[in-house]
Amino acid sequence: MKAKMMVVNLMAIREILTTPDTFLRKRSKKVRALTPKIKALIEDMIETLRAAPGVGLAAPQVGADQRVIIAEYAEPSEDPEAEPKPPKLHVLINPEIVRNSSETNLNNEGCLSIPGYMGEVERFDTITLKALNRHGEPIRIKAKDWLARIFQHEIDHLEGILFIDRATEVWKLEEEEIQERSPLSQK
Question: Site size for Ni ion, by CB under 5 A?
Answer: 2
What is the C-alpha separation between 131 and 97, in angstroms, rounded?
9
Minimum CB distance to Ni ion, residue 36 (Å): 26
Phi-psi region of 160 (alpha: psi -120 to 50; beta: other; left: phi over 0): left
Cβ-based neighbour number of residue 62 at 10 Å: 23
Piece in contact with Ni ion (CB under 5 A), picked from 39-47, 79-87, 94-102, 107-115: 107-115
Piece in contact with Ni ion (CB under 5 A), picked from 3-11, 39-47, 108-116, 168-176: 108-116
By annotation, the residues acting in catalysis are 154
Minimum CB distance to Ni ion, residue 72 (Å): 14
Radius of gyration of the chain (CA): 17
Strands (E), 38-183: 56-58, 68-73, 88-100, 104-109, 117-124, 126-132, 138-144, 169-172
User: Could you say which residues in the range 111-130 bind Ni ion, by CB under 5 A?
Assistant: 111
The residue from 14, 67, 134, 187 that contacts Ni ion (CB under 5 A) is 187
Backbone CA torsion sign across 104, 105, 110, 114: positive
Check residue 71 for interaction with Ni ion (CB under 5 A): no
Kindly tell me which of 77 and 107 has the beta carbon lying closer to Ni ion: 107
Q: What are the residues binding Ni ion (CB under 5 A)? A: 111, 187
